């Protein structure tokens, strides 16, 4: 009799364990299936503002897993051209953006020019600098100067355009240290590895390790414009459209303005 009772008890325990196990396995996994993953490729100079917006947006939309890949606009554009799984492209240059439109990766009606920026000359705070203007860059005592790689980093292209327009490019070209994106330029200046660098105003104002000594005249370079668009092959066009629209709201634009961007 005891054996029968023990057997029944064991069967009941196994049934309870199985039921609990099934409940645990179906709960989170079914929730996980409901999540939406969005990948945004954004220019490195957008990092600070976008991280704030990412946090705010995900608080309001917990079902969205928003991933942001920051880098030079040219590198990001090439990744998308080669088929990288991206939902939204936020570029710091119109030409990189237009290339994806020409390739059929972005529909023209699914893109908009959203932000503007300024180009500034910065020097490190950790050492004394005699640089007070762009013209000072030609002085013999001024060593290395950093800009982004012009072919892949819009800020680097704008910098080169500006330096050429100022007629000092040939005099300082041998001093140039190229960086993979504008944030690397900023890092080189912050650490004192270079004597000066050209970055966006938005990068300079979030750093307490550099001083802005001059601003490039907007007439010396192409307009600094940040277009954003939805990639046609987006895994979830509806979700991508929602975030794309959110970035154009007053709430999101105010964040960008707080980080020094101008709005279109």
Judged by DSSP in three states, 41 sits in strand
Angle, vertex CA 201, rays to CA 198 and CA 202, nearest 5: 120
According to DSSP, residue 250 is labeled H
DSSP characters for 149-208? -TTT-HHHHHHHHHHHHTT-HHHHGGGEEEESSHHHHHHHHHTTSSSEEEEEHHHHTT-S
According to DSSP, residue 54 is labeled H
d(CA 240, CA 236): 6
200 assigned binding-site residue: yes
73 assigned binding-site residue: yes
218 assigned binding-site residue: no
Residue 82, both tokens = 């080669």
Tracing tokens 């503002």 back to the chain, one arrives at: 49
244 assigned binding-site residue: no
155 assigned binding-site residue: yes
Residue list, annotated binding site: 45, 73, 155, 182, 200
Residue stretches of the annotated binding site for molybdate:
45, 73, 155, 182, 200
């Amino acid at each position: 009799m005891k054996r029968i009772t023990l057997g029944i008890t064991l069967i009941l325990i196994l049934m309870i364990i199985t039921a609990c196990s099934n409940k645990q396995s179906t709960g989170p996994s079914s929730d996980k299936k409901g999540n939406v993953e969005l990948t945004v490729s954004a220019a490195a100079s957008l990092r600070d503002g976008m991280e704030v917006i990412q946090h705010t947006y995900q608080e309001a939309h917990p079902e969205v897993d928003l991933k942001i890949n920051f880098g030079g606009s040219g590198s990001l554009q090439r990744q998308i051209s080669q088929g990288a799984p991206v939902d939204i492209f936020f570029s710091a240059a119109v030409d990189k953006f237009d290339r994806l439109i020409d390739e059929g990766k972005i529909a023209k009606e699914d893109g908009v020019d959203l932000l503007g920026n300024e180009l500034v000359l910065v020097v490190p705070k950790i050492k004394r600098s005699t640089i007070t203007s762009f013209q000072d860059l030609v002085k013999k005592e001024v060593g290395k100067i950093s800009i982004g790689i012009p072919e892949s980093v819009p800020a680097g292209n704008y910098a080169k355009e500006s330096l050429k327009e100022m007629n000092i490019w040939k005099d300082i070209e041998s001093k140039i240290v190229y960086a993979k994106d504008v944030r690397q330029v900023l890092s080189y200046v912050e650490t004192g590895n270079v004597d000066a660098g050209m970055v966006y105003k938005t990068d300079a104002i979030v750093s307490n390790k550099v001083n802005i000594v001059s601003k490039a005249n907007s007439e010396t370079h192409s307009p600094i414009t940040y277009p954003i668009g939805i990639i046609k092959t987006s895994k979830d066009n509806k979700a991508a459209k929602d975030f794309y629209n959110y970035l154009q709201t007053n709430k999101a634009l105010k964040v960008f303005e707080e980080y020094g961007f101008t709005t279109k």
